[in-house]
């Protein structure tokens, strides 16, 4: 119940050259929580609206439990897909009370009044809104409206719940809390969730698997650890958070990996994991997360560097360090430390990079 499959789905909007989405293959297991992540315009919302049936693909098929819902020339209307959807604006009907908002879908199914009342109350209790059933949307906070939207979609027991940037209109603290609640709700209801967001930390926090989208395509599909720690290419590395991208050349093979020398700083020779062999002299691109660039006092091991920018972020501190090398322009790397380990601008430091944590992304 709830296995969702996209089979080569593509859509081109009338009058546009580039397709909005193309070659989408995605297999979401029953009860799985998948997030679609990418910058605005990458096609993630289009994908969601294709799944919902508000858009019709001109290529490929969309199936739930092996039943075709969309294919070119044939599309099951949204109301017959057994899905739920939560919109960025929440889209709570302002002319109906909380109770009536949630009861709307059940009433359409011609359930007896008592059953409707019972299920609405249980659902409202589940999202912690038991005391608000007679309130109107304008009397609710953003977080409460969000929960009404969830309750309204889940009360009809959909096979799949689609969430379109559901947290982006909430303030930061509430967003963190709702991430946890979303995940808990998904486990409790056993509904398949497809969640669209531009915020990679949100996706990492909620999803079982993440599909990173760019230019209308899925660039990588994997668990949060995979896409963050082992990005398939530089687009994915970039999309999943701050990253240093530096050019290097292969100088040799070693064990399961490669030895590379950084172009901008020949003293830096790293041994990095690699899935395939490359000849010596081959050009590669290295992705290094700021938290994998270690900085310490001049007594620590590493390469001499100077702090050029530093900003305290609370839990963390962000630095830009310049590694003085042999002539040429210095190599600049972003480095992240714990918040209290802030170095002053102009402070002389030593920098080291653990090659085992670097990723080849070319």
Partner 1 sequence: MAASAALLLALVGGPLVALAVQSIVKDGRLSLDAYAAVIGRSLYYQALLNTLTVGIGSAVLAVVFGTPIAWAVARTDMPLRRAVRTTVTAAYIAPPFLLAIAYVILAAPNTGVLNTAIAGLLGVERGPFNAYTMPALVFVTSLHTFPVVFLLVAAALESVDASLEQAARVLGAGRVRTTLRITLPLVLPSILAGALLSFVSAIALFGSQAILGIPGRVYTLPTRVYQVLGYPPDFALASALSMLLVALTVVALALQRRRLGRHVAATIGGRGIGPEIVPLGRWRWAALAWCGAVLLVAVALPYAALGTVSLLRARPAGLVAGNVTLDNYVDVLLRLDVTQRAIGNSLLLGVITATVTLGLGIVLATIDLRTTLRGRRLLDYLALVPLGIPGIVLAVAILELWLRLPVNLYGTLLILLIAYVTRFIPLAVSSARAALGQVDTSLEESARIVGATWWTAQRRVTLPLARPALLAGWVLVFVPTIQELSASVLLFTPDTMTLAVAIFNFQDNGRIELVSAMGVVMLVLASVVVGAARRLAGRPVIGGVAGVPT
Asked if 67 interacts with partner 1 (CB under 8 A), we say no
Q: Which is nearer to partner 1, 77 or 301 (CB)?
A: 77
Out of 108, 125, 245, 300, which residue is the one contacting partner 1 (CB under 8 A)?
108
H or E stretch covering 210:
strand 209-214
Q: Which is nearer to partner 1, 125 or 245 (CB)?
A: 125
Out of 74, 122, 134, 298, which residue is the one contacting partner 1 (CB under 8 A)?
134
Asked if 109 interacts with partner 1 (CB under 8 A), we say yes
Out of 23, 58, 61, 78, which residue is the one contacting partner 1 (CB under 8 A)?
78
Stretch of residues binding partner 1 (CB under 8 A), selected from 135-143, 172-180, 238-246, 343-351: 135-143
Nearest by Cα to 5 from 28, 22, 36 = 28
Residues 250, 278: contact at Cβ < 8 Å?
A: yes
* Angle made by CA atoms 159, 160, 161, in degrees to the nearest 5: 130
Q: Which is nearer to partner 1, 110 or 276 (CB)?
A: 110
DSSP 220-262: EEE-HHHHHHS-SSHHHHHHTS--EEEEEEEEEEETTEEEEEE
Asked if 273 interacts with partner 1 (CB under 8 A), we say no
Structure tokens that stand for 213 in this block: 């989208």
Q: Which is nearer to partner 1, 49 or 209 (CB)?
A: 49
Out of 45, 46, 153, 271, which residue is the one contacting partner 1 (CB under 8 A)?
153
Q: Which is nearer to partner 1, 79 or 309 (CB)?
A: 79
Stretch of residues binding partner 1 (CB under 8 A), selected from 61-69, 80-88, 175-183, 278-286: 80-88
Q: Nearest approach, Cβ of 107 to partner 1 (angstroms)?
A: 9
Asked if 312 interacts with partner 1 (CB under 8 A), we say no
Q: Nearest approach, Cβ of 35 to partner 1 (angstroms)?
A: 19
Q: Nearest approach, Cβ of 181 to partner 1 (angstroms)?
A: 20
Q: How far is CA 97 from CA 36, 87, 138, in A?
A: 32, 18, 10
- Nearest-angstrom CA–CA distance, 58 and 22: 10
Nearest by Cα to 99 from 138, 126, 129, 143 = 129
| Per-position b or e across 311-321, b if 16+ CB within 10 A of its CB | eeeeebbbbbb
Size of the site for partner 1 (CB under 8 A): 36
Out of 19, 57, 60, 105, which residue is the one contacting partner 1 (CB under 8 A)?
105
Out of 132, 193, 228, 343, which residue is the one contacting partner 1 (CB under 8 A)?
132
* Crossing angle between the packed helical segments 142-154 and 113-126, to the nearest 10 degrees: 130
Torsion angle, CA of 55/56/58/59, rounded to 10 degrees? 100
Residue 291: exposure state from Cβ atoms within 10 A (0-12, 13-18, ≥19): middle
Out of 63, 68, 76, 135, which residue is the one contacting partner 1 (CB under 8 A)?
135
Contact residues for partner 1, defined by CB under 8 A: 14, 52, 54, 77-81, 83-85, 87-89, 91, 93-95, 97, 104-105, 108-109, 132, 134-140, 149, 152-153, 156, 162
């Amino acid at each position: 119940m709830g296995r969702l499959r996209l089979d080569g789905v593509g859509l081109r909007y009338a009058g546009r050259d580039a397709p909005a989405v193309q070659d989408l293959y995605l297999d979401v297991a029953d009860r799985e929580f998948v997030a679609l992540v990418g910058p605005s315009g990458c096609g993630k919302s289009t994908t969601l609206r294709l799944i919902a049936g508000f858009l019709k693909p001109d290529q490929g098929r969309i199936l739930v439990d092996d039943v075709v819902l969309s294919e070119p020339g044939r599309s099951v209307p949204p109301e017959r897909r057994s899905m739920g959807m939560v919109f960025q604006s929440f889209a709570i009907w302002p002319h109906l009370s909380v109770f009536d908002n949630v009861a709307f879908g059940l009433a359409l199914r011609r359930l007896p009044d008592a059953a409707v009342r019972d299920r609405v109350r249980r659902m409202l209790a589940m999202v912690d809104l038991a005391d608000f059933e007679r309130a109107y949307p304008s009397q609710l906070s953003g977080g409460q409206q969000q929960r009404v939207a969830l309750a309204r979609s889940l009360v009809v027991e959909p096979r799949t719940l689609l969430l379109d940037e559901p947290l982006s209109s909430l303030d930061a603290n509430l967003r963190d809390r709702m991430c946890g609640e979303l995940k808990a709700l998904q486990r409790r209801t056993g509904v398949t969730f497809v969640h669209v967001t531009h915020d990679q930390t949100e996706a990492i926090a909620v999803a079982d698997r993440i599909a990173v989208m760019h230019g209308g395509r899925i660039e990588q599909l994997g668990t949060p650890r995979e896409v963050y720690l082992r990005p398939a290419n530089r687009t994915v590395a970039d999309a999943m958070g701050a990253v240093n991208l530096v050019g290097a050349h292969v100088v040799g093979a070693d064990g399961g990996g490669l030895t590379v020398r950084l172009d901008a700083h020949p003293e830096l020779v790293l041994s990095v994991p690699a899935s395939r062999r490359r000849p010596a002299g081959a050009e590669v691109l290295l992705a290094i997360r700021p938290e994998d660039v270690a900085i310490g006092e001049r007594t620590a091991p590493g390469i001499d560097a100077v702090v050029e920018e530093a900003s305290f972020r609370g839990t963390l501190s962000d630095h830009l360090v310049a590694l003085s090398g042999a002539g040429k322009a210095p190599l600049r790397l972003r480095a992240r430390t714990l918040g209290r380990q802030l170095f002053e601008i102009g402070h002389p430091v030593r920098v080291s990079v653990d090659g085992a944590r670097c990723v080849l992304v070319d």
